[in-house]
């Protein structure tokens, strides 16, 4: 096993933008860092623009391995991981934490569920729409600054939600909270990618992936527990966590250099944000209300905005938001497809499964949450136990294995047609959780493979936006299947509905698997810039 040595911590080529956290590889001799000359191509070498050093077995200078770092050094090296995981936990948990508290909010603010639905939807729309523009902004102005201010904004927005006198103020505060969440998502992964290398990087991404899965489970559960203290406590709980992360960011993270001096492409950011946000909004409207003129009109408008954005990108290649180099990167394209597909299949089905548990079996909300928790528990355990090892494999292996297992779980959604009890769905939930836990720790690093350091923010943000779009599209597709068979009129029709959902989601996983096998025929050189 090769000894580990840190990359040069100086500003040159330091901060990359977007994946997971892990422990710095370090070798400290006599209390000071020692740089080892680059021994040539080594297994741990990273992308272009990153200065990394990989020791070789038998190197006399490293024969005794790294000396232990002082305690304060270890604490400082862990801080990027702690900050990134805290920010990620907050932004993902608060995507769902409000769901269980909705009846309490409706009664207190004396409003209907139609208006309150925007409390959930506006957060999702802002998160999806602003990920890529804010990822570009983080590449340009520096990750530390954007992360610090977004944590402060998240705390302020959470406090505004907790003290909202009416539903309009609550929706507007959730819009600010979703915007801050998009900025957090756009900066946490690049922070991890810039802070760690080698095996420490794989471990960091594994921990980040496990925290992501845990946040999905804790969101609904903690929302229910906190709502017992009053719905305002649900939002107030985020304030101290966000402020603590902001203080740690200001104290422990070094300043990073802006990634470029060219003018910011504000027009492209607005066009892309409006197109993606409108697309997500249309899918949510379709999922809640079925075919609707407003949803159709929004889809047409999104298509027009997308076309204008593509033309604008071609006319201004020097300021392109995404750019032909990123779009032409096969690893990036395949990773985006995988991200959208596994979120579509694993998580887009959950509202329909929840409806089935309530409509066909009469389970209470608490019991439904307990049944559905089988998926995030499997996700967390898989990512935590095997994520670091998966990160060292060829990308095709975890992607293919995760999609196959996830697709098998999707087929398991058809089991109630043979065994009507609700217990028959547990195997499907566990398998989709395991498949997602295999993919999630690998996804951030894959999103930045072969991407220049100044572009990792936009690349990781684009892949995360694909995940948000995938889950929105999955929810809408499953809602269409539910309406097609109208199980609410006759619970006996539910098996047919679930078979339709099972086949559709398994087909999506199969298509993504084919994209992996065709798009990643060989692993690209880690030193090839995009």
pLDDT, tens only, 278-312 = 888 887 777 667 676 777 788 888 888 888 888 88
Q: Give the gyration radius of the chain's Cα atoms.
A: 23
Write out the two tokens for 130.
């602003």
Confidence of residue 224 (pLDDT cuts 50, 70, 90): low
**DSSP 3-state of 90:** helix
Q: Provide long-range contacts, Cβ within 8 A and 24+ apart, for 106-115.
A: 108/231, 109/164, 109/166, 109/167, 109/170, 111/166, 111/167, 115/167, 115/171
Q: How far apart are CA 511 and CA 338, in angstroms?
A: 9
Q: How many residues does the chain have?
A: 530
- Centre a 10 Å sphere on the Cβ of residue 489 and count the other Cβ atoms it contains: 8
The Cα–Cα gap between 10 and 256 comes to 10
pLDDT more than 90, % of the chain? 20
Return d(Cα 87, Cα 187) in angstroms, integer. 10
Q: Is the pLDDT of residue 45 over 70?
A: no
The answer on pLDDT for 232 being more than 80 is: yes
d(CA 519, CA 513): 10
Residue 5, Ramachandran bin (φ over 0: left; ψ between -120 and 50: alpha; else beta): beta
The pair of structure tokens assigned to 372 is 């559905």
Interval 206-210 mean pLDDT: 84
| 366-383 pLDDT tens trace | 677 778 888 888 988 898
pLDDT confidence tier of residue 158, bands split at 50, 70 and 90:
very high
- Say yes or no to pLDDT of 28 above 90: no
Closest CA to 137 of 461, 453, 444: 461
The whole-number pLDDT of residue 59 equals: 38
Cβ(515)–Cβ(332) below 8 Å: no
Half-sphere exposure of 398 (CA within 13 A, CB side): 27
Cα–Cα distance, 101 to 357 (Å, whole number): 19
pLDDT band per the 50, 70, 90 thresholds, residue 54: very low
Query: What are phi and psi for residue 22, nearest 5 degrees?
Result: -165, 180
Q: What is the CB-side half-sphere exposure of residue 83 using CA atoms within 13 A?
A: 31
Strand partners, 29: 32
pLDDT at 141: 79
- Please give the helix or strand (H or E) that residue 32 lies within, else none: strand 32-33
Q: What angle do CA 146, 210, 70 make, to 5 degrees?
A: 70
Distance between CA atoms of 189 and 445, rounded to whole angstroms? 9
Check: CB of residue 44 under 8 Å from CB of residue 2: yes
Given a cut of 80, is residue 428 above it in pLDDT?
A: yes
pLDDT in tens, 497-529: 889 999 999 999 999 999 999 887 655 444 344
pTM over 0.85: no
Residue 71: is its pLDDT beyond 80?
no
For all residues of the chain together, what is the average pLDDT?
A: 77
- Please write the tens of the pLDDT for every residue from 238-264: 999 999 999 999 988 887 766 555 567
Question: What is the distance between the alpha carbons of residues 432 and 409, in angstroms, rounded to a whole number?
Answer: 5
Cα separation, 194 vs 454, whole angstroms? 11
What is the per-residue pLDDT across 175-207, written as a single tens digit (0 to 9) for each? Answer: 999 999 999 988 888 888 888 888 888 888 888
pLDDT higher than 60, residue 171? yes
Q: Which tops the pLDDT comparison, 480 or 435?
A: 435
Mean pLDDT for the stretch of residues 101-126: 78
* pLDDT at 128 > cutoff 50: yes
Which pLDDT score, from 0 to 100, does residue 221 have? 59
Query: Cα dihedral angle (76, 82, 84, 90), rounded to 10 degrees?
Result: -150
Q: What digits encode the pLDDT tens for the residues 465-497? A: 888 888 888 888 888 888 776 665 666 678 888
Query: What span, in angstroms and rounded, lies between the C-alpha atoms of 496 and 211?
Result: 35
Calpha distance 39→53 (Å, rounded):
8
pLDDT top residue among 55 and 78: 78
Higher pLDDT: 408 or 26? It is: 408
- 320 touches 382 (CB < 8 A): no
Span between the terminal Cα atoms of the chain, in Å:
31
Closest CA to 93 of 206, 177, 205: 177
Provide the token pair at 11: 């500003």
């Amino acid at each position: 096993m090769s000894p580990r040595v840190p990359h040069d911590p100086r500003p040159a080529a330091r901060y990359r933008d977007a994946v997971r956290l892990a422990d710095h590889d370090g070798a400290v001799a006599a209390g000071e860092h020692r740089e080892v000359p680059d021994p040539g191509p080594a297994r741990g070498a990273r992308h272009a623009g990153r200065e990394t050093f990989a020791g070789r077995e038998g190197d006399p200078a490293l024969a005794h391995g790294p000396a232990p770092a002082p305690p304060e050094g270890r604490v400082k090296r862990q801080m990027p991981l702690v900050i990134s995981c805290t920010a990620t936990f907050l932004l993902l948990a608060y995507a769902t934490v409000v769901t269980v508290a909705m009846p309490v909010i409706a009664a207190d603010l004396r409003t209907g569920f139609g208006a309150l639905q925007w409390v959930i939807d506006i957060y999702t729309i802002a998160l999806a729409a602003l990920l890529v523009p804010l990822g570009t902004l983080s590449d340009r102005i520096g990750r530390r600054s954007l992360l610090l201010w977004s944590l402060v904004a998240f705390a302020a927005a959470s406090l505004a939600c907790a003290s909202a006198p009416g539903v309009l103020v609550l929706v507007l505060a959730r819009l600010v909270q979703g915007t801050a969440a998009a900025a957090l998502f756009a900066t946490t992964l690049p922070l991890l990618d810039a802070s760690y290398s080698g095996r420490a990087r794989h471990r960091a991404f594994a921990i980040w992936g496990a925290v992501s899965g845990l946040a999905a489970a804790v969101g609904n559960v903690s929302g229910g527990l906190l709502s017992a203290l009053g719905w305002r406590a649900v939002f107030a709980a985020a304030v101290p966590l966000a402020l603590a992360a902001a203080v740690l960011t200001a104290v422990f993270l070094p300043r990073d250099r802006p990634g470029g001096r060219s003018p910011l492409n504000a027009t492209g950011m607005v066009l892309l944000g409006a197109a993606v946000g409108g697309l997500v909004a249309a899918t949510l409207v379709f999922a809640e209300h079925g075919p609707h003129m407003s949803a159709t009109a929004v889809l047409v408008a999104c298509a027009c905005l997308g076309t204008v954005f593509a033309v604008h990108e071609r006319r201004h290649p020097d300021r392109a938001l995404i750019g032909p180099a990123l779009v032409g990167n096969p690893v990036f394209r395949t990773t985006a497809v995988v991200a959208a597909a596994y979120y579509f299949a694993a998580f887009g089905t959950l509202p329909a499964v929840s409806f089935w548990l309530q409509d066909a079996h009469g389970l209470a909300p608490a019991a439904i949450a307990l049944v559905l928790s089988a998926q995030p528990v499997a996700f967390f355990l898989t990512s935590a136990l095997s994520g670091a090892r998966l990160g060292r494999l060829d990308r095709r292996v975890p992607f293919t294995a995760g999609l196959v297992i996830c697709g098998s779980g999707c087929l398991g959604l058809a089991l109630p047609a043979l065994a009507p009890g609700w217990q028959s769905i547990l195997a499907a939930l566990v398998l989709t959780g395991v498949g997602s836990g295999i993919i999630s720790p690998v996804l951030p690093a894959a999103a930045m493979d072969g991407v220049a350091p100044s572009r990792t923010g936009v690349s990781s943000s684009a892949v995360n936006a694909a995940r948000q779009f995938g889950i929105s599209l999955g929810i809408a597709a499953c809602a269409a299947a539910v309406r097609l068979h109208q199980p609410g009129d006759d619970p006996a029709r539910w098996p047919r509905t679930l078979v339709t959902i099972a086949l559709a989601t398994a087909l999506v996983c199969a298509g993504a698997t084919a994209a992996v096998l065709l798009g990643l025929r060989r692993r690209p050189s880690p030193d090839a810039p995009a």
